[in-house]
Chains A and B, each alone.
Chain A
Amino acid sequence: MKVGVVGIGHGKFGRREDNTVQELAFEPFRDALEDSGLSKDDIKATIIGSSPEYHKQRSISGVVAEYLGVNPQMTFLVEAACASSSAALHSAVAYIKSGMYDVVAVLGLQKMTELTTPEILALMGRVGDVQWESVFGTTFPGYYAMYARRHMYDYGTTEEHMAMVAVKNHLHGVDNPNAMFQKEIVLEKVLGSRPVASPLKLYDCCGNADGAACLIIAGEEKAKKISDTPVWLKGMGAASASMSVLRREKLNTIPSAVEASKQAYKQAGIGPKDLSLAEVHDCFTIAEIIAYEDLGLAKKGEGSKLIEEGQTYKDGDMPVNVDGGLKAKGHPVGATGASMAVEAVKQIRGEAGKRQVDGAEYALMHNVGGIGQYCFVNIFSR
Protein backbone atom coordinates (compact mmCIF):
# COMPACT_ATOMS: atom_id res chain seq x y z
CA MET A 1 0.00 0.00 0.00
CA LYS A 2 1.24 3.46 -0.86
CA VAL A 3 1.28 5.97 1.97
CA GLY A 4 0.69 9.64 1.25
CA VAL A 5 1.15 12.90 3.09
CA VAL A 6 -2.13 14.83 3.01
CA GLY A 7 -1.44 17.65 5.43
CA ILE A 8 1.57 19.59 6.66
CA GLY A 9 2.26 22.28 9.23
CA HIS A 10 5.44 23.97 10.45
CA GLY A 11 5.85 26.37 13.35
CA LYS A 12 8.48 29.06 13.77
CA PHE A 13 11.79 27.67 15.05
CA GLY A 14 13.82 29.71 17.51
CA ARG A 15 13.90 30.88 21.09
CA ARG A 16 10.31 30.62 22.19
CA GLU A 17 10.58 30.67 25.98
CA ASP A 18 7.14 32.22 26.31
CA ASN A 19 5.39 29.15 24.85
CA THR A 20 4.64 25.85 26.53
CA VAL A 21 5.39 22.67 24.61
CA GLN A 22 1.71 22.11 23.93
CA GLU A 23 1.32 25.65 22.61
CA LEU A 24 4.24 25.05 20.25
CA ALA A 25 2.57 21.81 19.11
CA PHE A 26 -0.81 23.41 18.51
CA GLU A 27 0.33 25.70 15.66
CA PRO A 28 1.59 23.09 13.16
CA PHE A 29 -1.14 20.64 14.13
CA ARG A 30 -3.85 23.21 13.37
CA ASP A 31 -2.08 24.18 10.12
CA ALA A 32 -1.76 20.55 9.02
CA LEU A 33 -5.46 19.96 9.70
CA GLU A 34 -6.39 23.04 7.72
CA ASP A 35 -4.03 22.02 4.92
CA SER A 36 -5.64 18.58 4.72
CA GLY A 37 -9.22 19.79 5.06
CA LEU A 38 -9.78 17.17 7.75
CA SER A 39 -11.33 17.71 11.15
CA LYS A 40 -9.53 16.44 14.20
CA ASP A 41 -12.10 13.68 14.63
CA ASP A 42 -10.72 12.15 11.42
CA ILE A 43 -7.30 11.68 13.06
CA LYS A 44 -7.28 8.18 14.55
CA ALA A 45 -3.91 8.41 16.27
CA THR A 46 -1.34 11.09 17.07
CA ILE A 47 2.22 9.83 17.33
CA ILE A 48 4.64 12.25 18.91
CA GLY A 49 8.38 12.35 18.32
CA SER A 50 10.39 14.13 20.97
CA SER A 51 13.37 13.75 23.25
CA PRO A 52 11.82 13.69 26.72
CA GLU A 53 14.84 14.75 28.76
CA TYR A 54 14.50 18.40 27.67
CA HIS A 55 11.01 18.94 29.08
CA LYS A 56 9.93 19.70 32.62
CA GLN A 57 6.56 18.09 31.85
CA ARG A 58 6.87 14.34 32.12
CA SER A 59 5.15 12.07 29.59
CA ILE A 60 4.65 14.90 27.13
CA SER A 61 2.21 13.11 24.78
CA GLY A 62 -0.45 13.26 27.49
CA VAL A 63 -0.48 17.01 27.86
CA VAL A 64 -0.06 17.62 24.12
CA ALA A 65 -2.93 15.29 23.13
CA GLU A 66 -5.16 17.00 25.69
CA TYR A 67 -4.25 20.49 24.43
CA LEU A 68 -4.81 19.49 20.79
CA GLY A 69 -8.18 18.08 21.78
CA VAL A 70 -7.59 14.64 20.31
CA ASN A 71 -8.65 12.58 23.35
CA PRO A 72 -9.75 9.80 23.42
CA GLN A 73 -7.82 8.76 20.29
CA MET A 74 -4.58 6.91 20.78
CA THR A 75 -1.33 8.78 21.39
CA PHE A 76 2.19 7.94 22.54
CA LEU A 77 5.76 9.19 22.43
CA VAL A 78 8.54 7.84 20.22
CA GLU A 79 12.17 8.58 21.07
CA ALA A 80 15.22 8.27 18.84
CA ALA A 81 17.20 11.34 19.97
CA CYS A 82 17.49 13.87 17.10
CA ALA A 83 15.56 11.47 14.83
CA SER A 84 12.56 11.08 17.15
CA SER A 85 9.92 12.41 14.75
CA SER A 86 11.29 10.32 11.87
CA ALA A 87 10.87 7.32 14.14
CA ALA A 88 7.33 8.55 14.86
CA LEU A 89 6.67 8.78 11.11
CA HIS A 90 8.08 5.29 10.64
CA SER A 91 5.68 3.94 13.28
CA ALA A 92 2.75 5.86 11.81
CA VAL A 93 3.38 4.36 8.38
CA ALA A 94 3.29 0.88 9.89
CA TYR A 95 -0.13 1.64 11.42
CA ILE A 96 -1.44 2.83 8.06
CA LYS A 97 0.01 -0.14 6.17
CA SER A 98 -1.42 -2.59 8.68
CA GLY A 99 -4.86 -1.10 8.23
CA MET A 100 -5.21 -0.51 11.94
CA TYR A 101 -5.75 3.24 11.46
CA ASP A 102 -6.60 5.08 8.24
CA VAL A 103 -5.38 8.57 9.14
CA VAL A 104 -2.52 9.30 11.54
CA ALA A 105 -0.89 12.55 12.65
CA VAL A 106 2.85 12.69 13.28
CA LEU A 107 3.97 15.53 15.46
CA GLY A 108 7.61 16.38 16.09
CA LEU A 109 8.19 18.80 18.92
CA GLN A 110 10.82 20.07 21.27
CA LYS A 111 11.29 22.91 23.65
CA MET A 112 15.00 23.22 24.38
CA THR A 113 14.89 26.52 26.28
CA GLU A 114 13.10 25.09 29.30
CA LEU A 115 16.46 23.99 30.61
CA THR A 116 19.04 26.28 32.18
CA THR A 117 22.54 26.35 30.70
CA PRO A 118 23.92 24.11 33.51
CA GLU A 119 21.13 21.61 32.85
CA ILE A 120 21.94 21.64 29.11
CA LEU A 121 25.63 21.14 29.90
CA ALA A 122 24.77 18.20 32.16
CA LEU A 123 22.74 16.59 29.37
CA MET A 124 25.50 17.31 26.87
CA GLY A 125 27.90 15.29 28.99
CA ARG A 126 25.72 12.18 28.74
CA VAL A 127 25.19 12.08 24.98
CA GLY A 128 27.62 9.22 24.42
CA ASP A 129 28.15 5.89 26.14
CA VAL A 130 28.15 6.99 29.79
CA GLN A 131 30.16 4.02 31.04
CA TRP A 132 33.33 4.31 28.93
CA GLU A 133 33.17 7.62 27.05
CA SER A 134 31.35 10.32 29.06
CA VAL A 135 33.77 9.71 31.95
CA PHE A 136 36.41 11.49 29.83
CA GLY A 137 34.22 14.51 29.18
CA THR A 138 32.92 13.80 25.69
CA THR A 139 30.29 16.18 24.32
CA PHE A 140 27.95 16.13 21.34
CA PRO A 141 30.19 18.51 19.33
CA GLY A 142 33.16 16.47 20.56
CA TYR A 143 31.93 13.34 18.79
CA TYR A 144 31.38 15.11 15.47
CA ALA A 145 34.75 16.79 15.99
CA MET A 146 36.33 13.33 16.16
CA TYR A 147 34.56 12.40 12.90
CA ALA A 148 35.77 15.67 11.38
CA ARG A 149 39.38 15.11 12.44
CA ARG A 150 39.37 11.65 10.91
CA HIS A 151 37.68 12.84 7.71
CA MET A 152 40.31 15.57 7.37
CA TYR A 153 43.08 13.02 7.82
CA ASP A 154 41.62 10.43 5.43
CA TYR A 155 40.40 12.72 2.65
CA GLY A 156 42.00 16.13 2.98
CA THR A 157 38.80 17.87 4.03
CA THR A 158 39.60 21.26 5.56
CA GLU A 159 38.09 23.67 8.07
CA GLU A 160 37.35 25.94 5.09
CA HIS A 161 35.23 23.20 3.47
CA MET A 162 33.22 22.88 6.65
CA ALA A 163 32.83 26.66 6.89
CA MET A 164 31.48 26.68 3.32
CA VAL A 165 28.60 24.48 4.45
CA ALA A 166 27.69 27.00 7.15
CA VAL A 167 27.82 29.88 4.66
CA LYS A 168 25.55 28.03 2.20
CA ASN A 169 22.97 27.00 4.76
CA HIS A 170 22.79 30.47 6.28
CA LEU A 171 22.21 31.92 2.80
CA HIS A 172 19.42 29.40 2.22
CA GLY A 173 17.92 30.21 5.61
CA VAL A 174 17.34 33.82 4.55
CA ASP A 175 14.38 32.64 2.43
CA ASN A 176 12.82 30.54 5.18
CA PRO A 177 10.51 32.57 7.44
CA ASN A 178 10.39 29.66 9.92
CA ALA A 179 14.18 29.61 10.34
CA MET A 180 15.82 30.68 13.59
CA PHE A 181 18.52 32.63 11.73
CA GLN A 182 17.59 34.47 8.54
CA LYS A 183 20.95 36.08 8.14
CA GLU A 184 23.83 35.57 5.76
CA ILE A 185 27.27 34.97 7.20
CA VAL A 186 30.74 35.12 5.61
CA LEU A 187 33.45 32.47 5.60
CA GLU A 188 35.78 34.53 7.80
CA LYS A 189 33.11 34.77 10.47
CA VAL A 190 32.83 30.97 10.66
CA LEU A 191 36.59 30.44 10.63
CA GLY A 192 37.12 33.14 13.25
CA SER A 193 34.45 31.93 15.65
CA ARG A 194 35.52 30.55 19.00
CA PRO A 195 36.56 26.89 19.30
CA VAL A 196 34.00 24.47 20.75
CA ALA A 197 35.63 21.08 20.13
CA SER A 198 38.52 21.31 17.70
CA PRO A 199 38.36 21.41 14.71
CA LEU A 200 34.72 22.53 15.18
CA LYS A 201 34.00 26.14 16.04
CA LEU A 202 30.84 27.88 17.18
CA TYR A 203 29.59 28.50 13.63
CA ASP A 204 30.13 24.85 12.67
CA CYS A 205 27.36 23.97 15.15
CA CYS A 206 23.61 24.25 14.68
CA GLY A 207 21.61 26.28 17.16
CA ASN A 208 19.40 24.87 19.92
CA ALA A 209 15.84 25.91 19.12
CA ASP A 210 12.27 25.42 20.19
CA GLY A 211 9.75 24.32 17.60
CA ALA A 212 7.29 21.82 16.21
CA ALA A 213 6.21 20.41 12.84
CA CYS A 214 3.36 18.12 11.83
CA LEU A 215 2.39 15.70 9.04
CA ILE A 216 -0.90 13.94 8.45
CA ILE A 217 -0.62 10.69 6.54
CA ALA A 218 -3.09 8.21 5.04
CA GLY A 219 -3.13 5.08 2.89
CA GLU A 220 -3.48 5.31 -0.90
CA GLU A 221 -7.25 5.25 -1.34
CA LYS A 222 -7.96 7.42 1.65
CA ALA A 223 -5.23 9.89 0.68
CA LYS A 224 -6.73 10.32 -2.80
CA LYS A 225 -10.12 11.06 -1.24
CA ILE A 226 -8.66 13.62 1.14
CA SER A 227 -6.32 15.39 -1.25
CA ASP A 228 -5.95 16.11 -4.96
CA THR A 229 -2.22 16.39 -4.46
CA PRO A 230 -0.97 13.80 -1.99
CA VAL A 231 2.79 13.44 -1.85
CA TRP A 232 3.82 9.80 -1.58
CA LEU A 233 6.45 8.22 0.61
CA LYS A 234 8.19 6.39 -2.20
CA GLY A 235 11.05 4.94 -0.22
CA MET A 236 11.74 4.52 3.46
CA GLY A 237 14.91 3.33 5.15
CA ALA A 238 15.75 2.95 8.81
CA ALA A 239 18.88 1.59 10.47
CA SER A 240 20.96 1.68 13.62
CA ALA A 241 24.63 1.67 14.59
CA SER A 242 26.51 1.24 17.84
CA MET A 243 25.97 3.88 20.49
CA SER A 244 29.61 3.62 21.47
CA VAL A 245 31.90 5.42 19.08
CA LEU A 246 34.61 2.96 20.16
CA ARG A 247 32.75 0.21 18.33
CA ARG A 248 32.49 2.04 14.99
CA GLU A 249 34.84 0.48 12.50
CA LYS A 250 35.23 3.75 10.56
CA LEU A 251 34.91 7.28 11.85
CA ASN A 252 34.55 9.07 8.53
CA THR A 253 31.04 7.76 7.87
CA ILE A 254 27.73 7.14 9.65
CA PRO A 255 27.04 3.47 8.88
CA SER A 256 23.34 3.68 9.76
CA ALA A 257 22.94 6.41 7.12
CA VAL A 258 24.58 4.27 4.45
CA GLU A 259 22.29 1.36 5.29
CA ALA A 260 19.09 3.44 5.58
CA SER A 261 19.72 5.22 2.29
CA LYS A 262 20.30 1.92 0.48
CA GLN A 263 16.91 0.71 1.70
CA ALA A 264 15.18 3.95 0.69
CA TYR A 265 16.69 4.10 -2.81
CA LYS A 266 15.84 0.46 -3.40
CA GLN A 267 12.23 0.86 -2.32
CA ALA A 268 11.81 4.03 -4.37
CA GLY A 269 13.49 2.42 -7.37
CA ILE A 270 15.76 5.40 -7.92
CA GLY A 271 19.37 6.39 -7.30
CA PRO A 272 21.01 9.54 -5.94
CA LYS A 273 21.24 11.07 -9.42
CA ASP A 274 17.44 11.10 -9.68
CA LEU A 275 17.03 13.35 -6.65
CA SER A 276 15.89 16.93 -7.13
CA LEU A 277 16.96 17.94 -3.64
CA ALA A 278 18.01 16.56 -0.28
CA GLU A 279 17.35 17.64 3.29
CA VAL A 280 20.28 16.33 5.31
CA HIS A 281 21.13 16.28 8.99
CA ASP A 282 23.71 19.07 9.34
CA CYS A 283 23.85 19.23 13.13
CA PHE A 284 27.48 20.15 12.51
CA THR A 285 28.99 21.27 9.21
CA ILE A 286 31.08 18.10 8.92
CA ALA A 287 27.87 16.07 9.21
CA GLU A 288 26.61 17.53 5.92
CA ILE A 289 29.85 16.65 4.12
CA ILE A 290 29.69 13.10 5.48
CA ALA A 291 26.01 12.93 4.49
CA TYR A 292 26.87 13.77 0.85
CA GLU A 293 29.03 10.65 0.82
CA ASP A 294 26.80 8.36 2.87
CA LEU A 295 23.84 9.18 0.60
CA GLY A 296 25.85 8.66 -2.57
CA LEU A 297 25.58 12.31 -3.67
CA ALA A 298 29.38 12.24 -3.82
CA LYS A 299 31.91 9.43 -3.95
CA LYS A 300 33.44 8.45 -0.60
CA GLY A 301 36.01 11.05 0.31
CA GLU A 302 34.78 13.60 -2.22
CA GLY A 303 32.07 15.28 -0.19
CA SER A 304 34.14 18.41 0.25
CA LYS A 305 34.35 18.81 -3.54
CA LEU A 306 30.57 19.09 -3.73
CA ILE A 307 30.48 22.12 -1.45
CA GLU A 308 33.69 23.59 -2.89
CA GLU A 309 32.16 23.53 -6.37
CA GLY A 310 28.91 25.02 -5.07
CA GLN A 311 26.86 22.09 -6.34
CA THR A 312 24.70 21.91 -3.22
CA TYR A 313 23.47 25.50 -3.44
CA LYS A 314 19.82 25.95 -4.43
CA ASP A 315 20.82 26.64 -8.03
CA GLY A 316 23.42 23.88 -8.13
CA ASP A 317 23.12 20.36 -9.54
CA MET A 318 22.20 18.82 -6.20
CA PRO A 319 20.51 21.33 -3.87
CA VAL A 320 20.96 20.41 -0.20
CA ASN A 321 19.17 22.02 2.74
CA VAL A 322 17.42 24.74 0.76
CA ASP A 323 15.43 25.59 3.91
CA GLY A 324 18.63 26.47 5.79
CA GLY A 325 19.18 23.04 7.31
CA LEU A 326 19.61 22.52 11.02
CA LYS A 327 22.36 25.11 10.85
CA ALA A 328 20.17 28.13 10.03
CA LYS A 329 16.72 26.76 10.78
CA GLY A 330 17.72 25.67 14.28
CA HIS A 331 17.55 22.15 15.70
CA PRO A 332 14.63 21.48 18.04
CA VAL A 333 15.78 17.88 18.42
CA GLY A 334 12.45 16.05 18.28
CA ALA A 335 10.95 18.35 15.63
CA THR A 336 13.77 18.14 13.10
CA GLY A 337 12.70 14.98 11.25
CA ALA A 338 9.13 16.21 10.81
CA SER A 339 10.49 19.59 9.69
CA MET A 340 12.59 17.92 6.97
CA ALA A 341 9.58 15.91 5.80
CA VAL A 342 7.40 19.02 5.68
CA GLU A 343 10.00 20.81 3.54
CA ALA A 344 10.29 17.81 1.21
CA VAL A 345 6.51 17.75 0.74
CA LYS A 346 6.37 21.53 0.15
CA GLN A 347 9.07 21.23 -2.50
CA ILE A 348 7.33 18.36 -4.29
CA ARG A 349 4.05 20.31 -4.23
CA GLY A 350 5.86 23.34 -5.63
CA GLU A 351 4.79 25.45 -2.66
CA ALA A 352 8.19 26.39 -1.25
CA GLY A 353 8.04 30.01 -2.40
CA LYS A 354 11.40 31.75 -2.83
CA ARG A 355 13.32 28.61 -1.98
CA GLN A 356 11.46 26.40 -4.47
CA VAL A 357 13.72 24.08 -6.45
CA ASP A 358 12.46 24.19 -10.06
CA GLY A 359 10.64 21.04 -11.13
CA ALA A 360 11.27 19.18 -7.88
CA GLU A 361 10.34 15.56 -8.50
CA TYR A 362 12.14 13.49 -5.86
CA ALA A 363 13.05 14.90 -2.44
CA LEU A 364 15.11 12.94 0.06
CA MET A 365 15.36 13.51 3.81
CA HIS A 366 18.14 12.14 6.01
CA ASN A 367 17.63 12.39 9.76
CA VAL A 368 20.36 11.15 12.10
CA GLY A 369 19.73 10.43 15.79
CA GLY A 370 22.49 11.21 18.27
CA ILE A 371 25.90 10.45 16.85
CA GLY A 372 24.47 7.96 14.34
CA GLN A 373 22.95 5.28 16.53
CA TYR A 374 19.73 5.90 14.57
CA CYS A 375 19.16 7.01 10.99
CA PHE A 376 16.03 7.42 8.91
CA VAL A 377 16.04 8.21 5.19
CA ASN A 378 12.80 8.89 3.31
CA ILE A 379 12.15 9.71 -0.34
CA PHE A 380 9.06 11.70 -1.30
CA SER A 381 7.54 12.14 -4.75
CA ARG A 382 4.29 12.74 -6.59
Chain B
Amino acid sequence: MELGKISFVPPSKIKEYLTYLEDGKIAGTKCKNCGTPHFPPRADCDNCMSDDMEWTVRDPKGEIVTYTTIHIGPTGFEDAVPYTICMVELEGGGRLLGWLDEAKEEDITVGQDVSINLKEFEGDRIIYAVRL
Protein backbone atom coordinates (compact mmCIF):
# COMPACT_ATOMS: atom_id res chain seq x y z
CA MET B 1 0.00 0.00 0.00
CA GLU B 2 1.11 3.54 -0.71
CA LEU B 3 -0.32 6.94 0.19
CA GLY B 4 -2.21 9.14 -2.27
CA LYS B 5 -3.29 8.62 -5.85
CA ILE B 6 0.18 8.27 -7.37
CA SER B 7 3.69 8.21 -5.91
CA PHE B 8 6.63 10.23 -7.17
CA VAL B 9 9.32 9.05 -4.76
CA PRO B 10 9.85 5.90 -2.70
CA PRO B 11 8.72 6.01 0.94
CA SER B 12 12.38 5.95 2.00
CA LYS B 13 13.61 5.79 5.58
CA ILE B 14 10.13 6.30 7.05
CA LYS B 15 8.47 3.43 5.15
CA GLU B 16 7.15 1.96 8.39
CA TYR B 17 4.57 4.71 8.08
CA LEU B 18 2.87 2.58 5.43
CA THR B 19 2.64 -0.40 7.81
CA TYR B 20 0.76 1.83 10.26
CA LEU B 21 -1.55 2.97 7.44
CA GLU B 22 -2.31 -0.66 6.54
CA ASP B 23 -3.23 -1.15 10.22
CA GLY B 24 -5.62 1.81 9.98
CA LYS B 25 -3.37 4.15 11.91
CA ILE B 26 -1.81 7.53 11.14
CA ALA B 27 1.66 7.73 12.67
CA GLY B 28 4.29 10.38 13.06
CA THR B 29 7.77 10.23 14.51
CA LYS B 30 9.13 11.73 17.71
CA CYS B 31 12.77 12.51 18.36
CA LYS B 32 14.03 10.40 21.26
CA ASN B 33 16.84 12.86 21.86
CA CYS B 34 15.00 16.20 22.11
CA GLY B 35 11.35 15.14 22.15
CA THR B 36 10.31 17.10 19.04
CA PRO B 37 7.27 15.52 17.33
CA HIS B 38 7.36 15.28 13.54
CA PHE B 39 4.30 15.01 11.32
CA PRO B 40 4.53 14.19 8.47
CA PRO B 41 7.12 11.78 9.88
CA ARG B 42 10.83 12.47 9.45
CA ALA B 43 13.75 10.09 9.83
CA ASP B 44 16.06 12.90 10.94
CA CYS B 45 15.41 15.64 13.49
CA ASP B 46 16.01 19.17 12.19
CA ASN B 47 15.88 20.51 15.73
CA CYS B 48 18.78 18.59 17.28
CA MET B 49 20.10 16.68 14.22
CA SER B 50 19.57 13.28 15.84
CA ASP B 51 18.28 10.31 13.84
CA ASP B 52 17.04 8.40 16.88
CA MET B 53 13.28 8.34 16.37
CA GLU B 54 10.24 6.53 17.72
CA TRP B 55 6.77 6.15 16.18
CA THR B 56 3.69 7.80 17.71
CA VAL B 57 0.14 7.13 16.58
CA ARG B 58 -1.98 10.23 15.97
CA ASP B 59 -5.63 10.82 16.69
CA PRO B 60 -7.36 10.94 13.27
CA LYS B 61 -9.21 14.16 14.09
CA GLY B 62 -8.57 17.79 13.38
CA GLU B 63 -9.81 21.00 11.83
CA ILE B 64 -9.74 22.44 8.34
CA VAL B 65 -6.97 25.02 7.84
CA THR B 66 -7.76 25.78 4.20
CA TYR B 67 -9.05 24.04 1.05
CA THR B 68 -9.39 24.27 -2.71
CA THR B 69 -11.18 22.39 -5.44
CA ILE B 70 -8.86 21.48 -8.30
CA HIS B 71 -10.54 21.74 -11.70
CA ILE B 72 -7.45 21.38 -13.86
CA GLY B 73 -5.55 18.38 -12.58
CA PRO B 74 -1.94 17.45 -13.20
CA THR B 75 -0.83 14.29 -14.99
CA GLY B 76 -2.26 11.23 -13.26
CA PHE B 77 -5.21 13.16 -11.81
CA GLU B 78 -7.11 13.98 -15.03
CA ASP B 79 -9.77 11.39 -14.26
CA ALA B 80 -10.25 12.60 -10.67
CA VAL B 81 -11.22 16.25 -11.27
CA PRO B 82 -12.86 18.06 -9.69
CA TYR B 83 -11.50 17.03 -6.29
CA THR B 84 -11.37 19.11 -3.12
CA ILE B 85 -8.06 19.15 -1.25
CA CYS B 86 -8.36 19.98 2.44
CA MET B 87 -5.46 20.92 4.67
CA VAL B 88 -6.19 19.56 8.13
CA GLU B 89 -4.43 20.40 11.39
CA LEU B 90 -4.42 17.28 13.55
CA GLU B 91 -5.48 17.59 17.16
CA GLY B 92 -2.08 16.45 18.36
CA GLY B 93 -0.26 18.86 16.04
CA GLY B 94 1.02 18.45 12.49
CA ARG B 95 -0.89 18.86 9.27
CA LEU B 96 -1.85 16.77 6.28
CA LEU B 97 -3.54 17.17 2.93
CA GLY B 98 -6.45 14.91 2.08
CA TRP B 99 -9.49 14.70 -0.14
CA LEU B 100 -12.90 15.86 0.99
CA ASP B 101 -15.17 12.80 1.06
CA GLU B 102 -18.95 12.42 1.19
CA ALA B 103 -19.40 16.22 1.16
CA LYS B 104 -19.14 19.16 -1.20
CA GLU B 105 -16.91 22.22 -1.08
CA GLU B 106 -19.98 24.37 -0.32
CA ASP B 107 -20.55 22.33 2.86
CA ILE B 108 -17.21 23.12 4.49
CA THR B 109 -15.48 26.09 6.04
CA VAL B 110 -12.11 26.96 7.55
CA GLY B 111 -11.98 25.92 11.21
CA GLN B 112 -14.50 23.09 10.82
CA ASP B 113 -13.92 19.85 12.77
CA VAL B 114 -13.29 16.82 10.58
CA SER B 115 -12.15 13.24 10.83
CA ILE B 116 -9.46 11.58 8.75
CA ASN B 117 -10.47 8.21 7.35
CA LEU B 118 -8.12 5.82 5.63
CA LYS B 119 -9.85 4.81 2.44
CA GLU B 120 -8.64 2.12 0.08
CA PHE B 121 -8.24 3.42 -3.42
CA GLU B 122 -7.66 1.72 -6.76
CA GLY B 123 -6.65 -1.53 -5.04
CA ASP B 124 -3.17 -0.76 -3.76
CA ARG B 125 -3.41 2.79 -2.45
CA ILE B 126 -4.70 4.60 0.62
CA ILE B 127 -6.27 8.05 0.58
CA TYR B 128 -6.83 10.40 3.51
CA ALA B 129 -10.58 10.88 3.21
CA VAL B 130 -11.62 14.02 5.06
CA ARG B 131 -15.16 13.71 6.43
CA LEU B 132 -17.42 16.03 8.42
Binding site for B on A (CB under 8 A): 118, 121-122, 124-126, 130-139, 141-142, 145-147, 149-150, 153, 194-200, 244-247, 251
Q: Name B5's contact: one of A135, A142, A196 (CB within 8 Å).
A: A135
Are A198 and B68 in contact, with the CB atoms below 8 A? yes
Q: Which residues of B contact A135 (CB under 8 A)?
A: 3-8
Shortest C-beta distance, B109 to chain A (Å), equals 7
Q: Name A153's contact: one of B5, B8, B109 (CB within 8 Å).
A: B109
Q: Name B9's contact: one of A131, A142, A149, A200 (CB within 8 Å).
A: A131
Shortest C-beta distance, B73 to chain A (Å), equals 6
Q: Which residues of B contact A134 (CB under 8 A)?
A: 4, 8, 74
Which 7 pairs between the two chains have the least Cβ-Cβ distance?
A135-B4, A125-B74, A145-B68, A137-B77, A122-B75, A130-B8, A153-B110
A146-B87, A150-B66, A153-B110 are contacts. A137–B74 as well, Cβ < 8 Å?
A: yes
Are B5 and A194 in contact, with the CB atoms below 8 A? no
B1-26 with Cβ < 8 A to chain A = 3-9, 12
What 1/0 flags go to B31-68 for Cβ under 8 Å of A?
Answer: 00000000010000000000000000000000001111
- The CA of A110 and the CA of B81, in the complex, are separated in Å by 30
Shortest C-beta distance, A254 to chain B (Å), equals 14
- The CA of A199 and the CA of B68, in the complex, are separated in Å by 7
A134-B8, A149-B66 are contacts. A139–B97 as well, Cβ < 8 Å?
A: no
Shortest C-beta distance, B38 to chain A (Å), equals 10
Question: What are 19 A-B interface contacts by the 8 Å CB criterion?
Answer: A121-B75, A132-B97, A135-B3, A135-B5, A135-B6, A135-B7, A135-B8, A136-B97, A136-B128, A137-B5, A138-B70, A142-B70, A147-B66, A197-B69, A197-B70, A200-B68, A246-B40, A246-B87, A246-B94
A131-B40, A132-B40, A137-B83 are contacts. A194–B77 as well, Cβ < 8 Å?
A: no
List the B residue with the shortest CB-CB distance to A251. B66
Are A136 and B5 in contact, with the CB atoms below 8 A? yes
Are A124 and B109 in contact, with the CB atoms below 8 A? no
Shortest C-beta distance, B55 to chain A (Å), equals 17
Q: Which residues of A contact B132 (CB under 8 A)?
A: none
Are B5 and A146 in contact, with the CB atoms below 8 A? no
What 1/0 flags go to B82-115 for Cβ under 8 Å of A?
Answer: 1101010000001111110000010001110000
Q: Which residues of A contact B111 (CB under 8 A)?
A: 153
Q: Which residues of B contact A199 (CB under 8 A)?
A: 68
Q: Which residues of A contact B65 (CB under 8 A)?
A: 150, 251
A130-B8, A150-B110 are contacts. A142–B85 as well, Cβ < 8 Å?
A: yes
List the A residue with the shortest CB-CB distance to B69. A198
Are B75 and A125 in contact, with the CB atoms below 8 A? yes
Are B83 and A139 in contact, with the CB atoms below 8 A? no
- The CA of A199 and the CA of B74, in the complex, are separated in Å by 18
Given A121-B72, A150-B65, 20 more pairs with CB closer than 8 A: A118-B75, A121-B78, A125-B74, A126-B8, A130-B9, A132-B3, A132-B97, A135-B5, A136-B99, A137-B80, A146-B85, A146-B87, A149-B110, A150-B110, A195-B69, A196-B71, A199-B68, A244-B40, A246-B87, A246-B96
- The CA of A138 and the CA of B96, in the complex, are separated in Å by 12
Q: Name B71's contact: one of A194, A247, A251 (CB within 8 Å).
A: A194
A135-B5, A135-B8 are contacts. A146–B67 as well, Cβ < 8 Å?
A: yes
Are B4 and A139 in contact, with the CB atoms below 8 A? no
Residue B123 at the chain A interface, CB threshold 8 Å: no
Q: Which residues of A contact B105 (CB under 8 A)?
A: 198
Shortest C-beta distance, A34 to chain B (Å), equals 42
A136-B99, A146-B66, A146-B67 are contacts. A197–B7 as well, Cβ < 8 Å?
A: no
- The CA of A244 and the CA of B87, in the complex, are separated in Å by 12
- The CA of A141 and the CA of B71, in the complex, are separated in Å by 10
Q: Which residues of A contact B78 (CB under 8 A)?
A: 121
- The CA of A135 and the CA of B65, in the complex, are separated in Å by 19
- The CA of A113 and the CA of B104, in the complex, are separated in Å by 36
Q: Which residues of B contact A153 (CB under 8 A)?
A: 66, 109-111
- The CA of A185 and the CA of B83, in the complex, are separated in Å by 29
Are B98 and A136 in contact, with the CB atoms below 8 A? yes
- The CA of A241 and the CA of B73, in the complex, are separated in Å by 26
Are A133 and B67 in contact, with the CB atoms below 8 A? no
- The CA of A197 and the CA of B71, in the complex, are separated in Å by 6
Q: Which of B68, B69, B94 has the most CB of A within 10 A?
A: B68
